[in-house]
A = this chain, B = another copy of it.
Amino acid sequence: MQKLKSVNEFVIRFANVNGTGSASANLLFAKSVFRMGLPVSPRNEFPSNIQGMPTFYEVRVSEKGYLGRRGGGADIVVAMNSQSLARDMRSILPGGYFLYDCTKPIDPKLVRQDVNMIGIPISEICLREYQDPRQRQLFKNVIYVGALAALLDIEFEVLKGLIKDQFKGKEKLVIPNIYALELGHKYASANFECPLAIRVKRSDKVNNHIMVDGNTAAGLGAVYGGATVCGWYPITPSTSVVENFMKYAERLRIDPASGKKNYAAVQAEDELAAIGMAIGGAWNGARSFTATSGPGISLMTEFLGLAYFAELPIVLINVQRAGPSTGMPTRTQQPDVLACAYASHGDTKQVMVFPASPKECFDLTAEAFDLAERLQTPIIVMSDLELGMNDHLSEPMEWDDDTRYDRGKVLNAEQLDKLEKFGRYLDVDGDGICFRTYPGTHPTKGAFFTRGTSRDHFAVYSELGDIYVDNVDRLERKFATAAQLLPKPEIIHQGKKSAKAGLIYFGTSTSATLEAVDQLAAKGIKVDCCRIKAFPFALQIEQFIDDHELLYVIEQNRDGQMRTLLINELEQAPKKLIKVVHYDGLPITARFISESIEEHQQGTAGKKSPLTAASR
């Protein structure tokens, strides 16, 4: 029968039971491919549950470097969960390979004729090899990785190396793990014709890249960005941002003399308190941040309004997840764009930056602290579950040691002495940003009352209309200044002169979009690209829109929220901006994008329900 053939371009999907330690074995597999010089993108589809439920791990291998989710079925399925066998069998492409535990015979009704069955008696092997039931469970996962090594021609030395790295410090675990790998490897080599028609071959496509998740990078960005005050409250998928900040700070932020901590992180009682702490720290002159997701954003809205109006420089890292409400806590989306842009009652606008890779999570988080203190307003770093919690191939992180933090407009005692009269809300140079002072700076000058109420240039409470208007108009000026200071969009033109159509996208839609561009090109559809990196929007984005007849705004939410921002803030005609939205909780795919655009270009569009998109 048909056998899928491919070298270095395929998708393998692992079906496990969560809480059984499969994730680390699956990562071991992904990393081995990575170390063979191949671009790879693992994705963990886990349930909002701790133990016993079906969980999936999909790895895309692509020498071409297409690392967005491919979608559609998998080429290989490793089915280790008896609960989900039927569903797993369905998730495989015709001619694909189905690796399963054949210790117990599989229900014939489940077996598909167009699938190549690879049965390995994993339980039996474990039963034979191990006494301790916990080991029996644990090594199952390692054994199938060993088998895959044989089947897909992964260099065994690479796996050994990874095991050695993984168990640095716990060396006595190295041998048994390698032994388990060998068990799988031996069985596969002995019983199947290895390698399969689908396999990997060493390459050199990863250069000096690293494989890391965005939350780790963001946590490091906060360390390098000089954050010293962190208030936080656990919530998936943002938790690991702060956990990583603390993990690295414990190593890198210890005062050599006293051994004490050069940072303070407090697990707050909830998100209101978490952002309250960040605000207090920022008010007092420390670089302060918090991180949250979903409901946490809603709970922070009152304080976000205060920080906007009282002009306090905090950094908020929003690792978005599928909403609304509790929604799907372990699924990805970009659904908080509007909620963050206009967070809080009254006329408020918030500054956002949109990282698209772990490296950008690092860079933009670090830069966010400069921007916050320069603009004296909250900076919201808009990541999401796909970027934050999955490992991604990424350029290595870099830091220029000559970097000096931009602490913004702050007056010290000497400067205050020179000053005749200090006015906290005097816009001396017209950029809408005024000078502030830290508490405790000067015995007699520079003290003022920070408040969420209307106030005059000297921070005195006022209910006079013209004073109020003067103040909120200045905040608008400040917002215009922000548009100039923020990271510029990444614009790609296909040819000399711009194409008819342009794609606008941001964050984790990037890799899928770039793959889609190639797919469209193959079909003769030329499009230019504009990746948004920040809000308020830079001039270049407006220019890009003006330069094209038609724009497809690609995003991962139902309502086309970024499109709303573009229309509203740039006064663009809605008709010109076409919604391309994918919102089923799984990362958007190139196929979905290119097909949607193709259909639209052929006018065959019509409201296609992303329902089908879910299965693409």
Q: Which A residues are closer than 8 A to B by beta carbons?
A: 47-48, 294-295, 297-299, 301-302, 304-306, 308-310, 322-331, 333, 335-336, 338-339, 342, 344-349, 451-454, 463, 465-466, 468-470, 472-473, 476, 557-559, 561, 564, 567-568, 571-575, 583-586, 609-611, 613-615
Closest to A53 in B: B463
Taking a contact as CB atoms closer than 8 A, the residue among B297, B304, B339, B585 that contacts A342 in the complex is: B339
Q: How far is the CB of A432 from chain B (nearest CB, A)?
A: 14
Q: Is the CB of A323 within 8 A of B295?
A: no
A611 to B468, CA, bound (A): 9
Cβ A574 vs Cβ B571 within 8 A: yes
Chain B neighbourhood of A339, CB < 8 A: 301, 342, 344-346, 348
Question: Top 5 nearest A-B pairs by Cβ distance?
Answer: A323-B346, A465-B584, A324-B346, A325-B452, A465-B614
Closest to A335 in B: B346
Whether B345 contacts A335 by the Cβ 8 Å rule is yes
User: Given contacts A326-B453, A463-B47, A476-B558, is CB(A298)–CB(B294) below 8 Å?
Assistant: no
Chain B residue nearest in CB terms to A318? B345
* A322–B342 CB distance below 8 A: no
Question: Which listed residue (B301, B335, B452) contacts A347, Cβ 8 A?
Answer: B335
Residue of B nearest to A46 (CB): B463
B298 contacts A469, C-beta separation under 8 Å: no
23 A-B pairs with C-beta separation under 8 A: A48-B453, A294-B346, A298-B301, A298-B302, A298-B305, A299-B302, A306-B325, A306-B326, A322-B468, A323-B347, A324-B346, A325-B346, A328-B454, A328-B463, A335-B345, A347-B557, A465-B585, A468-B584, A468-B585, A469-B583, A472-B558, A567-B567, A573-B575
Residues A294 and B345 in contact, CB atoms below 8 Å apart: yes
* In the complex, residue of chain B having the shortest beta-carbon distance to the beta carbon of A573: B573
CB distance from A237 to the nearest CB of B (A): 13
- A305 to B324 Cα, complex, angstroms: 6
Q: Which residue of B lies closest to A320 (CB)?
A: B345
Which residues of B sit under 8 angstroms from A573, Cβ to Cβ?
573-575
Copies assembled: 2
- Closest chain-B Cβ to A463's Cβ sits at a distance in Å of 5
Q: Contact at A345–B609, with CB atoms within 8 Å?
A: no
Contact A574 B575 (CB under 8 A): no
> Is B571 within 8 A of A468, CB to CB?
no
Bound-complex Cα distance A407 to B328 (A): 30
Please measure, in the bound complex, the distance between the C-alpha atom of A348 and the C-alpha atom of B470, giving whole angstroms: 33
Q: In the complex, what distance in Å separates the CA atom of A573 from the CA atom of B558?
A: 21
A325 to B310, CA, bound (A): 8
Tell me the smallest distance from the CB of A125 to a CB of chain B, in Å.
32
What 7 new A-B contacts, CB under 8 Å, besides A299-B301, A309-B325, A327-B346?
A297-B345, A323-B347, A324-B348, A326-B451, A328-B463, A338-B342, A469-B614
A299 and chain B: residue at smallest CB distance: B302
Partner of A325, one of B308, B463, B572, B613: B308
For A296, the closest partner residue in chain B by CB is B345
Determine which of B322, B568, B572 lies in contact with A454 in the assembled complex, contact meaning CB atoms within 8 Å: B322
Q: Is the CB of A327 within 8 A of B452?
A: yes
Instruction: Give A261 Cβ to nearest chain B Cβ, in Å.
Output: 32
The CA of A586 and the CA of B322, in the complex, are separated in Å by: 41
In the bound complex, do residue B302 and residue A324 qualify as a contact, i.e. CB atoms below 8 Å apart?
Answer: no
Q: In the bound complex, do residue A345 and residue B349 qualify as a contact, i.e. CB atoms below 8 Å apart?
A: no
- Tell me the nearest residue of chain B to A310, going by C-beta: B325
Across-interface contacts of A336 in B (CB, < 8 A)? 345-346
Bound CA span A305–B342, Å: 16
Tell me the complex Cα distance, A466–B476, Å: 42
Contact B473 A559 (CB under 8 A): no
Q: Is the CB of A324 within 8 A of B297?
A: no
Q: B453–A329 contact, CB under 8 A? A: yes
A346–B559 CA distance with the chains assembled, in angstroms? 9
A83 to chain B, nearest CB (A): 14
Query: Which of A339, A349, A451, A575: most chain B CB closer than 10 A?
Result: A339
Please, which residues of chain B bring their CB within 8 A of the CB of A47?
A: 463
CA A519 – CA B330 in complex, angstroms? 58
**Least Cβ distance of A570 to chain B in Å?**
9
Contact of A470 among B322, B611, B613 (CB under 8 A): B611
CB pair B571–A572 under 8 Å, yes or no, is: no
With both beta carbons as reference points, the residue of chain B lying nearest to A570 in the complex is identified as: B574
Contacts of A331 in B (CB 8 A): 463, 465, 468
The interface centre, meaning the residue of A324, A331, A561 with most chain B CB atoms within 10 A of its CB, is A324
CB proximity of A55 to chain B, nearest CB, Å:
10
Query: Which chain B positions have C-beta within 8 A of A298?
Result: 301-302, 304-305, 344-345
Residue of B nearest to A48 (CB): B463
**Given contacts A305-B323, A611-B470, are A328 and B48 in contact (CB under 8 A)?**
no
Write the chain B residue with the least CB distance to A336: B345
Chain B nearest CB from A452 CB (Å) reads: 3
A559 and B302 alpha carbons, distance in the complex (Å): 19
| Least CB distance, A233 to chain B, in whole angstroms | 13
| Cα-based distance from A572 to B574 in the complex (angstroms) | 6
Closest Cβ of chain B to A268, distance in Å, is 16
